[in-house]
Homo-oligomer: A and B are copies of this chain.
Amino acid sequence: MSVTIREIAEKTGVSITAISQILNGKGERFSETTKNRVLKAAKDMAYKPNFFAKNMITNHTNTIGMVVPEVTDAFFSQMVKGAEDYLNRHDYMIMLCNSSNDKEREDRYVEELLHRAVDGLIIASPNILASEVFERLQEKKKPYILLDRQRNEQKEGRIAVDDFEGGYMATKHLHKLGHTKIGIIISDNSFYNVFERYEGYLACMKEAGITVSKDWIVSGNQTMQGGFLAGEKLLESGVTAVFATNDLMAVGLYRFLFDKGVKIPEDLSVIGFDDIELSEFMVPPLTTVRQPIYEIGAVAAEFLLRKIAYPEEKMNNRLLDLTLIERGSTTKI
């Protein structure tokens, strides 16, 4: 029923080998004219590559495995989206695995993906990977990108933002508005990036000559619930502004303040971190430090596909910018 490469060869007069290489994106050595003729014929004849045949020719499955800590978290789902859009545009599919922040499950998923012959992996992880997993990745010679908050040592393919700078930026914004009693919600988990944001906060406070009271620092789960629960202590501490180290916690804090009749930003300024899609829809819209989350996913995909195409080439590193997004949740005191 379906059109074969042989039929395209008959129609175009180009060899089967050449056609299969061109259709599989390995046709660099052919002229543009030949390539266009083949691609046009394939399109006109509605050619669909046979998965296994294609696989045999290129030894590629055109599938990328991606492991994320929590797919229900708006942050990671946006990252996945960035990777996916890039991969889909390049005719790659993505197999997604959710480790639920569980180290063991993460290691297992990486193994599973290797067994399933993906062409490469994007591993977003809060953990240090097991050395066996690293060994397995080397052994299988699979290109991979670690989006791991800088916890594993990486010589190439590092994609990062400067979390310290981001924490500094958020605190500075509040301080510029006249706030001196500035609270922070940090993580009850040892997330490296949140710790860096906290360090940025401390540096900014020190620079401003403000002695940080212990009460201003509340730790919580990096979720809406976590932000909600942190509200009580923060209110008691007498701060006039709060830096929530991610936007989800700001959502929960909003709800707590609503229950207590505390108005944002009149009674309390709130700044978040991430700029998830929800943030601009919050009431009032949330001032936050935007991470280019979508772009992080897209760059990871870009680096990975390049590594798959040119395995010997060293991968770049990229430091992406953070931006302060001023909305309605912060005001002058």
> Is residue A84 within 8 Å, beta carbon to beta carbon, of the partner chain?
yes
Q: Are B63 and A72 in contact (CB under 8 A)?
A: no
> Is residue A80 within 8 Å, beta carbon to beta carbon, of the partner chain?
yes
Contact residues in B for A105 (Cβ distance below 8 Å): 88
> Is residue A130 within 8 Å, beta carbon to beta carbon, of the partner chain?
no
Q: Are A278 and B281 in contact (CB under 8 A)?
A: no
Which residue of chain B is the closest to A78 with respect to CB atoms? B72
Interface size on A, residues (CB 8 A): 41
Contact residues in B for A255 (Cβ distance below 8 Å): 280-283, 285
Q: Are A228 and B281 in contact (CB under 8 A)?
A: yes
Instruction: State in angstroms the CA–CA spacing of A108 and B54 once bound together.
Output: 14
Contact residues in B for A112 (Cβ distance below 8 Å): 51, 63, 93, 95
Instruction: State in angstroms the CA–CA spacing of A136 and B152 once bound together.
Output: 42
Contact residues in B for A278 (Cβ distance below 8 Å): 224, 251, 278
Which residue of chain B is the closest to A276 with respect to CB atoms? B72
Q: Knowing A251-B278, A252-B281 are in contact, say whether A98-B80 is a contact too (CB < 8 A).
A: yes
Least Cβ–Cβ distance between A133 and chain B, in angstroms: 14
Instruction: State in angstroms the CA–CA spacing of A109 and B252 once bound together.
Output: 36
> Is residue A97 within 8 Å, beta carbon to beta carbon, of the partner chain?
yes
Least Cβ–Cβ distance between A79 and chain B, in angstroms: 10
- Where chain A touches its partner, the secondary structure class is helix
Instruction: State in angstroms the CA–CA spacing of A12 and B81 once bound together.
Output: 50
Q: Are A97 and B108 in contact (CB under 8 A)?
A: no
Instruction: State in angstroms the CA–CA spacing of A71 and B282 once bound together.
Output: 21
Instruction: State in angstroms the CA–CA spacing of A242 and B94 once bound together.
Output: 38
> Is residue A191 within 8 Å, beta carbon to beta carbon, of the partner chain?
no
Contact residues in B for A111 (Cβ distance below 8 Å): 51
Q: Are A283 and B283 in contact (CB under 8 A)?
A: yes
Least Cβ–Cβ distance between A228 and chain B, in angstroms: 7
Contact residues in B for A251 (Cβ distance below 8 Å): 278, 281
Extra inter-chain contacts (20) besides given A72-B78, A255-B281, A255-B285, CB under 8 Å: A51-B111, A52-B115, A71-B71, A72-B77, A72-B80, A80-B98, A84-B98, A88-B100, A93-B108, A93-B112, A95-B97, A95-B116, A116-B116, A228-B281, A251-B278, A251-B281, A254-B281, A255-B280, A255-B282, A255-B283
* 10 contacts across the A-B interface (CB closer than 8 A): A51-B112, A72-B74, A77-B77, A84-B98, A88-B100, A224-B277, A224-B278, A228-B281, A251-B278, A252-B281
